[in-house]
Amino acid sequence: MAFTLYSAPQSTCSQRVRYTLHAKGTAFVEKKLDLFAGDQLKPEYLTINPNGVVPALVHDRATVIDSTVIMEYLEDILPDTAPLRPKDPIEAARMRAMIRFIDEVPSSAIRVPSYNLAFLPHFQAMTESEFQALADSKPLRREFLMKMGQTGFPKADMDEALGRLQRGLDRMNQWIGESGGPWVMGANMTFADIAVMPVIVRMADINLDHMWTDKPLVAAWLEAIRATSPFRPTYYHGSLLTEKYPHLAKADKEAAPT
């Protein structure tokens, strides 16, 4: 089976799929897209993913888009290779409900501080018409970008995003506590862990890890997932925002609450 993954190093959704492919020991060709250069909006990529976002997986001649859909697809075609979905239908349904919460609450919230910290300078360098054209070209992100504008998200939006991230941490901590850990659903890693992984890694990268100082279960979970064999090839150099934008490491540390 031939797999080609259209990905971006810092894309949290791409990181989910890269981890899944590595966890299943599946060889793949990664085509890295430069999102600031607009690779995801070029006609050749839009024929693969008309939403103009990453990731997209091409398996032989079939194309699968959306990170959660891709993860489930890989499980469907490789069910006996490092299973990541519970066999019990009830448990599988519970896992999917967890992922829905993750996607709706912390995953959407992490975009706000990420964009304000890393991407805003790029948008500020654009003319108003260039920024409008960029926003109009993104079917899934247009309203998000228009709300951000070229001045960044205001404090009220940042506070709301941080509140959503806190609720995500609270729920994650609850899940681990109820399951007995070390993973979200207990002894075995599932897609719920992979779904939330990029959020927690991103938070640690931009110095928001103080938000779980009172949640040792989350801290232990992060240490455990960093120790897994798929983690390092997933997070190759350049996958963290502070590796792409080194100035963030100092700036974020200065801005982090004490």
Residues 9-25: tens digit of each pLDDT: 999 999 999 999 999 99
Q: Give me the phi and psi of 134, to 5 degrees please.
A: -65, -50
Dihedral, 214, 117, 31, 20 alpha carbons, nearest 10 = 10
C-alpha distance across the termini of the chain, in Å: 50
CATH number at residue 32: 3.40.30.10
104 plus 52 within the same structural domain: no
Segment 155-204, tens digit of pLDDT: 999 999 999 999 999 999 999 999 999 999 999 999 999 999 999 999 99
Label the pairing between strands 62-65 and 29-32. unpaired
Segment 59-73 mean pLDDT: 97
Contact status, residue 17 vs residue 26, Cβ threshold 8 Å: no
12 plus 138 within the same structural domain: no
Segment 117-143 mean pLDDT: 80
In this prediction the pTM is: 0.89
71 plus 138 within the same structural domain: no
| Residue 84 included in any domain | no
Final residue before a domain boundary, out of 29, 56, 77: 77
184 plus 61 within the same structural domain: no
Segment 36-63 mean pLDDT: 92
Instruction: Indicate left, alpha or beta for 3 from its phi (over 0: left) and psi (-120 to 50: alpha).
Output: beta
| Residue 249 included in any domain | yes
Higher pLDDT, 258 or 51: 51
- Confidence at residue 250, expressed as pLDDT on a 0 to 100 scale: 57
Q: Which of 169, 162, 153 is nearest to 213 (CA)?
A: 169
Cα 70 to Cα 61: distance, rounded to the nearest angstrom: 15
210: DSSP letter: G
| Residue 83 included in any domain | no
- Report the half-sphere exposure of 113 (CA within 13 A, side-chain side): 26
User: In the beta sheet, which residues pair with residue 58?
Assistant: 4, 63
Q: Which of 54, 19, 57 is nearest to 34 (CA)?
A: 54
Site of tokens 């976002």: 53
- Confidence at residue 249, expressed as pLDDT on a 0 to 100 scale: 67
108 plus 182 within the same structural domain: yes
CATH number at residue 151: 1.20.1050.10
65 plus 186 within the same structural domain: no
243 plus 134 within the same structural domain: yes
Domain that holds residue 17: 3-77
> What percent of the chain is predicted at pLDDT more than 90?
74
Q: Is the sign of the CA dihedral 137, 142, 148, 151 positive or negative?
A: positive
User: In the beta sheet, which residues pair with residue 65?
Assistant: 56
Q: What is the number of structural domains in the chain?
A: 2
242 plus 179 within the same structural domain: yes
Cα 207 to Cα 258: distance, rounded to the nearest angstrom: 11
